[in-house]
A and B are shown apart, each in its own frame.
Chain A
């Protein structure tokens, strides 16, 4: 649509130099345009598929305009993406949160330099640039050990020594958990995630720097496991994301929930709750760059850092998966009619996607064997099928499938007990 025409035109307009990056960096630009950072096709299509558009294959540039007549989640997903998720793209400078400002286009990651080739600044990409999108619950925040707190006003603690409430970064305040060992050693994002990956050629892998794991610590029965399965210490998992688009001006009930990890929403609610006359509910479409009707609210059921679920990746490895997300969708139109009221299934299947996930919380020492072998939660976290949270196997894995009963049985096999027993008995 319009994006295909405008964005390439925007690029030269934004740079203060007369030339644009493309003039010299044609090859890189061409490759970049196919990369996921440009198209965001993975996140967009994952969400659209989860919401019922099974053959979704669009990009940031080709995502349809939101539908006007809404009957099912599939009609609403584009609006949801444009207004909630896709504020993080290379052509949006900011969405109101501290720490989430970036340049436009190439500058969203790279730093400009004089055309003659002398670098005014290092062209190395700083962590700040990556973190302007890759923060909170998405991989990036966890690298520094940051875990976003719960939304409710009662979580705005502890106060500082001189009595200040904690400040928000990326739209919410954070707990600090143990950070990734690579972060502790001073490595930045780009030290592992190199240019080839950004352009869509290769993927970062541990073996890129680390020698093949020693057989003593990494016996043959564990060769299929991803490194993070054992070496990731904690893992951001957020259960049941309820999203609610409200086209009516009903703000009072959100007074204790103004922080929803969405800077625009926080500013809007703070103003709306004080206003004598409640403003119309409007929120920007971050692609079209203009206000659209309705406000998207969101809330989780609960968050954890100590859970993790293992599954068979489609590429044959075994690794961690996590929900991104388990949706419960509501939509109230401007007349107050609930068009969608807490919809959680499409044709009987829950609207959820469990996807492979590599937590960036690596520790040198791996987890104990028991963390997987004696942990029922690795297969079944508490989840709300009924209203009573019970342990159950995740549904709807994308890019993975559940561990088979054979595999689970093997985890408690005599062989395992012998091997582990030896480790425990004779130090």
Chain B
């Protein structure tokens, strides 16, 4: 009994000492509680990301995770996420309000790149169909190492997708990816200046990725990726170089940019860009906007989405009556009917631009040109890169943008020559006539162990190059220009009733594994030399070529659209066949 009491007394003494220690240690002042979470204990001076996500209401942990209650750094930062806008984090942290958008963007082509992979596999003979939706997320799980197309895709194309890991880029000027940040972020976090986000997305964000492949982002700004001379030399250095070292020179920019100062988002709607949730096969299925949506607009009362978007935009007045896109009925909240015509308020700053309505002139309304897409006449130039010579070294090593590490196999790309003038025309994915350029003319050399294998897959692709001008191409430039017709560069003539064409480029003698000229989409007899990237896309056929060139015989003298013979051209043609027209009276 005594021993126990001694032990108890000792314990009591020890307890006393211990309690003293506790009180001393715990003698910090009452925990200072901050709102809305304890992150503010250290980060109270962090600036807002935008006016829709104020720090004083959201705090930090709501988006970045971590322990919102912890008051020390180690515990507070457990499980914290640096970039919650990455899609795998956004699904956890942002779904409370943005679940719809996150689902849509996760299925969009800008994340999967499935169109690129599918067309590549199709053109390289690895796939018979153009309806695959296998994209980057699937390839991350399962990679077919024997597929050349997948190998090339992983090394040469897959760097650009919305959810790319920003840390794999070593040049800050060419960094892309990051989930929602890829488009919406306008500045990176620095000290207490939090990264800023906006719905007024600057075109420079789009251009992080849309400056390769068909160079749309560059063309829109009047930049043509050039032959790489680096000229003119300024201060003893190369000039006119993009951030990644490619050379360019300036050509007339798209009129929407040059005169309107418009950004990509002034045309491309949120549904067209972020997707409608479906997994589309090709870009044109996902795209929403059309030229007509602004230039022959259909107005209707603003819906709730329009009100929300205008509010987020902060640069223009409340929407009452606005335009809507014809394809997906998205609100064009910045397109308003005014008493003197249509006004487009630039999203970046709310500046009012007056929209030229598409005229009812014969060149737009006549039946003879109904098959033409707007870009066929109004696109002034298109970057055309002839001959994409892919060289593959099986034993080389190159960075794989899907697995994010250096893997076996190295691709090098060479080219034959570039052009921008007189883009070819053909029948595009929307069954209308539009500009075509090489997309892609792959001449491949594969160095495998001791063997050298060769293959080639020559294809042309159609798209709107975003080099729109007010003035269209001249009649002759389409009707009697062999490059525009898709014949290539050479001498075109009508001789004794026959259409003749003598091409300049001698492919076989220049070392190509085919004998048609490399810039020839189609022969003068209507034989299509090169394939395309869509089942329905093609060159002009024999009949079309004949009709287009023969029409020049009329255009020579009847060189104005308001000429009466074009009112009912079929009737005029009939009269011509019967030699009843005044052409024959001299």
Contact = CB atoms under 8 A, between A and B. Distances in A.
Interface of A: 145, 149-152, 154-163, 166, 174-178, 233-234, 240, 242, 244, 246, 248, 250, 253, 256-257, 297, 299-303, 305-306, 328, 330, 332, 338, 341-342, 344, 363, 365, 367-368, 370-371, 374, 382, 384, 386-390, 417-418, 420-425, 427
A257 B247 CA distance: 12
Nearest to B508: A176
A384 B504 contact: no
A244 B236 contact: yes
A177 B233 contact: no
A328 B231 contact: yes
Contacts of B512: 158
A424 B491 contact: no
B425 to A, nearest CB: 17
Contacts of B228: 150-152, 154, 256-257
B502 A158 contact: no
Contacts of A158: 387, 389, 414, 416, 443, 445, 510-513
Contact of B506 (A178, A367, A427): A178
Contacts of B252: 388, 390
B259 interface: no
Contact of A328 (B233, B443, B490, B583): B233
Contact of B229 (A301, A387, A427): A301
B236 A302 contact: no
Contacts of A425: 553, 583-584
A297 B315 CA distance: 51
A174 B506 CA distance: 11
A233 B233 contact: no
Contacts of A328: 231-233
Interface string B202-243: 000000000000000000001000111111111111101000
B7 interface: no
Contacts of A257: 228-230
Contacts of A160: 511
A257 B226 CA distance: 14
Interface in B378-395: 387, 389, 391
Contacts of B510: 158, 174-176
A250 B236 contact: yes
Contact of B491 (A155, A162, A363): A363
A302 to B, nearest CB: 6
Contacts of A418: 586
A156 to B, nearest CB: 6
A388 B391 contact: no
8 contacts: A150-B229, A154-B414, A163-B445, A177-B506, A253-B230, A330-B236, A370-B552, A421-B553
Most A CB within 10 A of own CB, among B417, B489, B503: B417
B480 A368 contact: yes
Interface string B397-433: 0000000000000000111111001000000000000
Interface stretch (B134-142, B305-313, B492-500): B492-500
B109 to A, nearest CB: 28
B556 A417 contact: yes
A180 to B, nearest CB: 12
Interface in B156-192: none
B497 A365 contact: no
Contacts of A389: 249-251
A149 B380 CA distance: 26
Contacts of A159: 389, 391, 445
B226 A161 contact: no
A156 B325 CA distance: 47
Interface in B315-343: none
Interface string B111-128: 000000000000000000
Given A159-B391, A389-B249, A425-B584, A305 B489 contact: yes
A182 B510 CA distance: 20
Contacts of B389: 157-159
Contacts of A175: 416-417, 505, 510
A306 B489 contact: yes
B509 A299 contact: no
B299 interface: no
B229 A299 contact: yes
Contacts of B227: 150-152, 155, 300, 302-303
B511 A374 contact: no
B454 interface: yes
A299 B230 contact: yes
B42 interface: no
Nearest to A244: B233
A240 B232 contact: yes
B372 to A, nearest CB: 20
Contacts of A163: 445, 447, 452
A301 to B, nearest CB: 6
B584 A155 contact: no
Contact of A330 (B233, B240, B251): B233
A229 to B, nearest CB: 13
B557 interface: yes
B520 to A, nearest CB: 13
Contacts of A338: 235-236
Nearest to A332: B236
A332 B583 CA distance: 65
B476 interface: yes
A233 B417 contact: no
Contacts of B447: 163
Contacts of B583: 421, 425
Identify the 8 closest CB pairs spanning chains A and B, nearest first: A427-B497, A152-B228, A157-B389, A157-B414, A299-B229, A163-B452, A176-B509, A368-B493
Contact of B233 (A242, A306, A427): A242
Nearest to A163: B452
Given A150-B227, A175-B416, A253 B238 contact: yes
B231 A388 contact: no
A154 B511 contact: no
A2 to B, nearest CB: 33
A157 B416 contact: yes
Contacts of B553: 421, 424-425
A150 B235 contact: no
Interface in B439-494: 443, 445, 447, 452, 454, 476, 480, 483, 489-494
Contact of B494 (A174, A256, A344, A424): A424
Contacts of A177: 504-506
Given A242-B231, A257-B229, A300-B229, 16 more contacts: A154-B413, A159-B389, A159-B391, A160-B511, A162-B452, A163-B447, A176-B506, A176-B509, A240-B232, A253-B230, A302-B227, A330-B236, A367-B493, A370-B552, A382-B421, A421-B583
Contacts of A384: 232, 249
A178 B503 CA distance: 8
B557 A421 contact: yes
A299 B452 contact: no
Contacts of B489: 234, 305-306
B235 A341 contact: yes
A176 B417 CA distance: 12
A342 B491 contact: no
B497 A152 contact: no
B234 A161 contact: no
B505 to A, nearest CB: 6
Contacts of A390: 252
Contacts of B234: 341-342
A417 B505 CA distance: 31
A368 B492 contact: yes
A145 B505 CA distance: 9
A302 B556 contact: no
Contacts of B249: 301-302, 384, 387, 389
A240 B415 contact: no
Nearest to A328: B232
B502 A365 contact: yes
Given A158-B512, A387-B250, A425-B583, A365 B236 contact: no
A155 B556 contact: no
